[in-house]
């Protein structure tokens, strides 16, 4: 016969877990800020996607017309030379997923305060500006 633990040990463990679960404060949006947070998040994600796809589309056209030598970003140029367009597409897709995930995580903390909102705005602006700058530089190649 096995040794039996005290009758209350399982109950004490469950009570400790319950106290930890109750003590955890989830990051939730208040009902009044939810529509604003979701609309801002949707706008940021749409702008991120549009700018990065603009960069990718203009890259493919530029490389078709002028060759990879016209690419200003040496990392992209070397990756294209080594692995071709699939690497560039995968890299752009990974960048979009990563930046979109960061924006979603920051949006979950929308009600935490202005500092989080400013960080999320900065991330979105830099992501959009980077995509637009890449796209415009691709278009301006002669």
44 versus 142: the higher-pLDDT residue is 44
Q: pTM for the complete prediction?
A: 0.72
41: Cβ contacts below 8 Å, ≥ 6 apart:
103, 104, 107
- Taking the domains of the chain in order of start, what are their residue ranges? 29-139
Residue 103 in tokens? 């924006």
Write the DSSP symbol of residue 2.
Answer: P
Distance CA 45, CA 3 (A): 58
Mind listing the pLDDT tens digit for each residue in 90-108? 999 999 999 999 999 998 8
What pLDDT does residue 85 have? 95
């Amino acid at each position: 016969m096995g040794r039996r633990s005290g009758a209350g040990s399982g109950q004490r463990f469950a009570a400790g877990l319950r106290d930890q679960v109750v003590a955890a404060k989830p990051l939730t949006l208040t009902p009044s800020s939810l529509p604003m947070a979701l609309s801002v998040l949707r706008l940021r994600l749409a702008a991120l996607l549009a700018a990065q796809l603009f960069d990718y589309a203009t890259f493919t056209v530029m490389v078709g017309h002028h060759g990879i030598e016209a690419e200003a970003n040496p990392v992209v140029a070397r990756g294209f030379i080594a692995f071709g367009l699939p690497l560039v597409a995968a890299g752009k897709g990974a960048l979009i997923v990563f930046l979109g995930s960061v924006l979603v995580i920051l949006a979950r903390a929308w009600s935490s305060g202005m500092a989080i909102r400013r960080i999320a705005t900065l991330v979105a602006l830099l992501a959009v500006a980077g995509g637009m700058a890449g796209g415009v530089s691709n278009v301006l190649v002669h």
